[in-house]
Amino acid sequence: MGDVIRFKKKTPWQKHKGKSLCREGFHKWVVVTERKFDVKRGKLVTEYRCQRCGRSKTRLL
Asked whether 13 and 37 are in contact (CB, 8 A), the reply is: no
How is the beta sheet containing 29-38 ordered, strand by strand?
A: 29-38, 43-50, 56-60
pLDDT at 49: 93
What totals of helices (H) and strands (E) does the chain contain, helices first? Answer: 2, 3
pLDDT at 57: 92
Report the predicted TM-score, pTM, of the whole model to 2 decimal places. 0.62
pLDDT at 18: 66
Domain ranges within the chain, ordered by starting residue: 28-61
pLDDT at 6: 82
Q: Tens of pLDDT along 3-58?
A: 888 888 888 777 777 667 888 888 999 999 888 888 888 888 999 999 988 899 99
* Torsion, Cα of 27, 28, 32, 35 (10° steps): 80
